[in-house]
Structure 1
Amino acid sequence: MRVAFVYRLYPTREQKRTIHFTLERCRLLYNRLLEERILAYKTEGKILNYYDQANTFNERKQHIPTLKQVHSQVLQDVAKRLDKAFQAFFRRVKNGETPGFPRFKPQQRYDSFTYPQGGHAIKDNKVRFSKIGDVKIKLHRQPQGKIKTCTITVKNGRYYACFSCEVDPQQLPVSEEKVGIDLGLLHLAVTSDGTMVEAPKQLRRNECRLKQLQRFVTRKKCGSKRRKKAVHILAKLHEKVANQRKDHAHKVSRQLVDRYGFIAFEQLNVQGMVKNRHLSKSIADAGWSQLIQFAKYKAESAGRVVVQVDPRHTSQLCSNCGTTVKKTLSVRVHRCDHCSYTADRDENAARNILQRALAL
């Protein structure tokens, strides 16, 4: 399975210029390749693929000498990115989803480039990148397995190297424990055995500061250095909030996978739920999808099972006898008049989720 190892890079001033030069060449190439695909379809009705465009790179270098200063495999990856974007577009059209045609990339939307195979090597506390040089890296742990790709990313003035590695799954000791999990806003997760995981609510905690920084941005003149500085400060705080939410999801998912052998989640339509303007911010702040995603990939490597079930009526049904007990959202305790079973509303829902998962 693939595992990503991310490290902070500390390039010199000259290396920073080279990295940004490479990013700009890749962005311009991406936009040019996209333009060619659109033009070929409009004029000839032809759909270009990756090989049609990648085979033109040697000729392009003769007309655009600056492309020679970028590693050849980095340029090939640009064509692969565009090809993947079109494959995803055609898949969405086929499935009847919102298509989302590939778009031209402005500078702020193109922040990474990838060495697909070679062109990079780790030595001591530095990484040697082809066409860039030896860049200092904070190697807090060694990458495991076989390195398949390396991606350099520039984010809010910081530089990162992401190594995608092929590693063997590390199985955990067998666990017979099974759990159902109800996701919510008051608590991030409530398990079928009564454990309640607090929601981080990092966005709410930083909301006042975010609003203040947003006002600073709007008061600055467009294109000015002060506006760019204010945007940078705002972006750093947004990144911090996202990292805090991500860290919490990693810790919770690790605890679940270490303990339980079978984990059942709800199959929530998060995209549809965030359309509710009254709850959208709280739902986005909870990070339900991220928690499920992390639990799935951790379970895959640990030999655990993660499933998702239909969440309809899990809060209304009694998990003890199956009787429907209607209640509004304000009612936080489940009380069944038929069997006298009493439990927290979310715990009752989690038990129903587990029962549905075991019945699959």
Structure 2
Amino acid sequence: MLVFEFKAKGKTTQYSAIDEAIQTAQFVRNKCIRYWMDNRGVGQKELYRHNTTLRADFSFVKDLNSHACQTAVERAYSSIARFYSNCQKAIPGKKGYPKFKKNCRSVEYKTSGWKLSETRKQITFTDKKGIGKLKLKGTYDLNFYQLGSIKRVRLVRRADGYYVQFLVNAENRVEIQPTGKAIGLDVGLKEFYTDSNGYKEPVPQFYRKGEKRLSFFQRRVSRKEKGSTNRKKAINKLGRFHLKISRQREEHAKRVARCVIQSNDWVAYEDLSIKNLVKNHCLAKSINDAGWYQFRKWLEYFGVKFGKITIAVNPAYTSQKCSSCSAVVKKSLSTRTHVCRCGCILDRDWNAAINILKLALSTAGHVGTRILDPNALGDLASTLIGEILSRQAELMSKESPHL
């Protein structure tokens, strides 16, 4: 499965129609959540029937394509099913009780409600919301794929405009020559990662470098009168800069992950729980700015694409053990050099990367292994045709043209 994204160009009235369609999908989802709260135990079929009732009672819901309404129901049931699953697994902490959405940013169509032009450079939405024909601006060419292979179309609103995403049922495998190399990666805050060969990738710190500019935009927002047009413009500029930083972080993780995968046949990394790590409010900003999650996501994606093996290992004691004699050498976070009684003196992160590689080679095929099966990507690569696009491969999108 591939996701192709295009910038949507249209008139102001068309953008307003897109906003109305997004609000309608949000309305259907929230109504389904309320129906579930009032009638515990109802399943997806009952939610579909409730959607039929909503379309009969509200004309603005009926104006939205029926498949788009069904997708909103699927989103509601997805949150309900995830809540039940977390309860059954007895995960610690909050279980993710379904909540009402206040600011949805997308609406998703299935195989109806839209029509592509012959050149595949324009798309027309045929429901009664009045979106009409939109121009598609982008470098991808949809002419390589049959119309029947397009399973979902999604309209997304961002700070810098509106986008159209296409979910295409297509293979994304590339055969390259094996290198015969294996590598272990230890991610950090001082360096983006240190590999088992001693190479250190510098950390970009996009958010840290942009904090001064962000503070400037934030002050402009706070000085504007609430509810005024000028405040909305200031909020939009602030959102655009946040979007720029997130894109920089994503592109960096994508570029580095591709280089690592193409240069090695085996790639081992730590199976870190970012959600728990950011609970340390002293390090949360730096951890989020480093983009460890994005890096791991793209490592696994390119591992599948190029037929390489990516392995996530338990990070316990990888920084404390000696990579030479396996003795445990206790050290604090401020201690950056590993010194062992056996005579091994290494950089702390280099020592950890070697331990990660050894652990991966000794446990390959067991729990935590990411192998060539696309389903091994777990939630990151849920590309089942019946699933909603918002959960599709997050995003299993075609990488940037310049890569």
Question: Who is 2:126 aligned against?
Answer: 130
Q: Is the aligned partner of 1:210 residue 2:209? A: no
1:320 matched to 2:324:
yes
Q: Deviations over 1:216-240 (max 9, x none)?
A: 3233333232322222111111111
The answer as to whether partners of 2:2 and 2:172 remain within 8 angstroms in 1 is no
1:102-155 deviations in Å (ceiling 9; x for gaps) = 11222xx21101112233343322122222322101131124653221111011
Which residue of 172, 179, 185 corresponds with 1:181? 185
* AA partner of residue 298 (structure 1): F
User: Residue 84 of structure 2 corresponds to which residue in structure 1?
Assistant: 90
**Partner amino acid, structure 2, of 1:304:** K
In the alignment, which of 133, 148, 159 is matched to residue 151 of structure 2? 148
Q: What are the within-5 Å matches in structure 2 for residues 1-360 of structure 1?
A: 2-41=1-40, 47-97=41-91, 98-106=94-102, 109-123=103-117, 124=119, 125-131=121-127, 132-143=131-142, 146-170=149-173, 171-338=175-342, 340-360=343-363
Q: Which runs of 5+ in 2 are unaligned?
A: 364-403
Cα distance in 1 between the residues matched to 2:190 and 2:68: 46
User: Is this contact kept in 1: 2:323–2:355, CA < 8 A?
Assistant: yes
1:58 to partner: Cα distance = 4.4
For residues 149 and 300 of structure 1, what CA distance do their matches in structure 2 show? Answer: 22
CA distance in 1, matches of 2:355, 2:160: 47
1:354 deviation in Å? Answer: 0.2
In the TM superposition, residue 57 of structure 1 has moved relative to its aligned partner by 4.2
Question: Which sits farther off after the overlay, 9-18 or 277-286?
Answer: 9-18
Q: CA deviation at 1:157?
A: 4.6
Letter of the 1:303 counterpart: G
Kept in 1, the 8 Å contact 2:22–2:107? The answer is yes
The structural deviation recorded for 1:336 is 3.0
- Structure 2: which amino acid aligns with 1:252? V
Counterpart secondary structure, 1:306: strand
Give the Cα–Cα distance (whole angstroms) in 1 for the partners of residues 273 and 359 of structure 2.
Answer: 18
* 1:89, distance to aligned residue in structure 2 (A): 1.0
The one-letter amino acid paired with 2:234 is A
Q: Secondary structure at the match of 1:102?
A: coil
Give distance in 1, aligned partners of 2:70 and 2:22.
Answer: 14
Q: SS state of the match for residue 277, structure 1?
A: coil
* Aligned-pair CA distance for 1:207: 0.8
63 and 198 in structure 1: CA distance in 2 versus 1, 3 angstrom threshold: same
CA positional deviation for 1:275: 1.5
SS of aligned partner of 2:247: helix
Aligned equivalents of 1:53 and 1:341: distance in 2?
63
Give me the whole-angstrom Cα distance separating, in 2, the residues matched to 1:162 and 1:230: 27
Structure 1 moving runs of 4+ over 6 Å: none
CA apart distance, 1:326: 3.2
Cα deviation for residue 160 of structure 1 reads 0.6
State the Cα deviation string for residues 149-180 of structure 1 (Å, max 9, x = none).
11110111510111122222413333321110
TM-score scaled by length of structure 1: 0.92
For the aligned residue pairs, the C-alpha RMSD in angstroms reads 1.8
- Once the two structures are superposed, what CA deviation does each residue of 1:273-315 show, in whole Å capped at 9, x if it has no partner? 2121211110110011110011112211221111111112212
Q: Report Cα offsets for 1:232-261 as digits up to 9, x if no partner.
A: 111111111111000000001111111111
Total equivalences in the alignment: 351
Percent identity over paired residues:
29
Distance 1:101 1:222 in 2: 32
Q: Structure 1 residues 115-124 or 9-18, which shifts more?
A: 115-124
Cα offset, 1:59, TM superposition = 4.4
Aligned with 1:246: secondary structure?
Answer: helix
